[in-house]
Structure 1
Amino acid sequence: MAETNNTVIGITEIQKLLPHRYPFLLVDRVVEHVPGQSITAIKNVTINEPFFQGHFPGLPVMPGMLILEALAQAGGVLVSKSLEGPLGDRIFMFTGVEKAKFRKPVVPGDQLVLRCFDLKRRMTLCKMRAEASVAGVVVAEADLSAAVVDGANLG
């Protein structure tokens, strides 16, 4: 059984592990991870998010697909921390979503707790279960799949 790592991973290291940047970086901090198994990360949702200008004026709600993207980014950190050696020019690409359910709206002031677990890897492909919660209540869940690909071949 792998040992839980309670060392916080801050934004500086997250930016070394993920290619995303403002306004699309949706993971603020990792609070726990077990390499090869699970991760718990945080996304602080503020009214300053650019998507709230249009989703929806006067009734700001975080788009469900961005909640899934935040979960996928947390999964990317998990996979990055689970590989032998650095990612180098490789990147973690979200390839699929199954069984997605959105249970409750996420609004400014919420703190999304992003959990990815039950990680399964086969060659460059990964699958995991993911849940987002606010104040202990699950707001979204899905099965996610992704691949680690050579970034140089994407252009």
Structure 2
Amino acid sequence: MEDAENKTLASADIMRIMKLLPHRYPFLLIDKIIEMDGDNSCIGIKNVTINEPHFTGHFPERPVFPGVLLIEAMAQTAGALCVHARGDDAPPQLVYFMTIDKAKFRRPVEPGDQVHFHVKKIKQRSNIWKFDAVAKVDGNKVAEAEVSAMLVDA
């Protein structure tokens, strides 16, 4: 298997993301990965559109992308990094979201926004990974958290 340090990826389209993650509509929240640096960091993108089902109730008069889905998108970006770092030859595994710490929401995300999810590995011990995650719109921080995940056999 390839060393994770050599697994820099310039970008990944939705088809590659669907190979890395088991999520599907309406719960696949990452549209594209624009950068992946070995097993160290990753930047994923979500294009927020009014056509998403949660906007019918959150909130009809002033649509706001749910904060919990920002956290989930951070976790999906981190999960894509975990699976990519293992390499295409590795046996199938799933990434289970374990913890959220220090979550803060700084401003609403609305239809038309493009959210960039920056995740950076803080530490890894065996199959447990911990990340700093920041969501940005137009370079401005809209949310942040520490998330951890566990790789398990599929």
For normalisation by structure 2, the TM-score amounts to 0.91
Q: How does 1:7-86 map to 2 (within 5 A)?
A: 7-86=10-89
Sequence identity, in percent?
45
Question: What whole-Å deviation, never above 9, does each CA across 1:68-115 have from its counterpart, x for those lacking one?
Answer: 000100001111111255454320011100000000000000000010
Q: Which residue of 2 aligns with 1:117?
A: 120
TM-superposed CA distance for 1:46, in Å, is: 0.2
Q: Which amino acid aligns with 1:148?
A: L
Aligned residue pair count? 150
CA distance in 2 between counterparts of 1:122 and 1:114 reads: 23
Query: Which residue among 92, 103, 116 is the counterpart of 2:106?
Result: 103
- Structure 2: gaps (5+ residues): none
SS, match of residue 62 in structure 2: coil
For normalisation by structure 1, the TM-score amounts to 0.91
Q: Which amino acid aligns with 2:145?
A: A
- Structure 1: gaps (5+ residues): none
Instruction: Report if aligned partners of 1:36, 1:119 keep a CA contact under 8 Å in 2.
Output: no
Instruction: Report if aligned partners of 1:80, 1:86 keep a CA contact under 8 Å in 2.
Output: no
After superposition, the CA RMSD in angstroms is 1.6
TM-superposed CA distance for 1:4, in Å, is: 8.3
Q: Which residue of 2 aligns with 1:150?
A: 153
CA distance in 2 between counterparts of 1:87 and 1:23 reads: 27
CA distance in 2 between counterparts of 1:118 and 1:127 reads: 6
